[in-house]
Amino acid sequence: MSKGKVLVMGSNATRIEIQGGGTGPMGQYLNETVVPMLALVGAGYEVLLATPSGAKPYIDPASDAVQHFGGDEAAYLRGKDFFANDPSTNTGRTLQSVIKEGLDEYDGVFAPGGQGPVVDLMQDPDAGEILRHFHAAGKPTALLCHGPIVSISAMPRATEFRAALIQGDRVKAAELAKGWQYAGYKMTVYSATEEKPIEDNILHGKLYFNMPETLDLAGAETTVGTDFEPHVVVDRELITGQNPRSDHPIAAKLIEALDRASLAS
Residues 125-142 pLDDT 10s: 999 999 999 999 999 999
Kindly state the average pLDDT of the residues 115-119.
Answer: 98
From 128, 133, 115, select the one nearest 199 (Cα to Cα).
Answer: 115
pLDDT at 79 over 80: yes
- Write b or e for each residue in 81-90: b if 16 or more Cβ atoms lie within 10 A of its Cβ, otherwise e: ebbeebebbe
From 6, 92, 98, select the one nearest 44 (Cα to Cα).
Answer: 6
Beta strands in 2-153, from DSSP E residues, in sequence order = 5-9, 15-17, 23-25, 46-51, 93-94, 108-111, 141-144
**Digit-coded pLDDT (tens) for 14-57:** 999 999 989 999 999 999 999 999 999 999 999 999 999 999 99
Res 209: pLDDT: 97
Superfamily of domain 5-264: Class I glutamine amidotransferase (GATase) domain (3.40.50.880)
Radius of gyration of the chain (CA): 17
Res 88: pLDDT: 97
Structural element, H or E, at residue 75: helix 73-85
Backbone angles phi, psi at 174, to 5 degrees: -60, -40
Res 1: pLDDT: 83
As to burial, measured by CB atoms within 10 angstroms (0-12 exposed, 13-18 middle, 19+ buried), residue 112 is buried
Beta strands in 119-243, from DSSP E residues, in sequence order = 141-144, 186-187, 221-222, 232-235, 238-241
pLDDT at 235 over 80: yes
Res 84: pLDDT: 98
Q: Do 232 and 188 meet the contact criterion of CB atoms below 8 Å apart?
A: yes
Res 32: pLDDT: 98
From 107, 109, 101, 106, select the one nearest 128 (Cα to Cα).
Answer: 109
Kindly state the average pLDDT of the residues 164-181.
Answer: 97
Band (255; pLDDT cuts 50, 70, 90): very high
Q: For the chain, what percent of residues have pLDDT higher than 70? A: 100
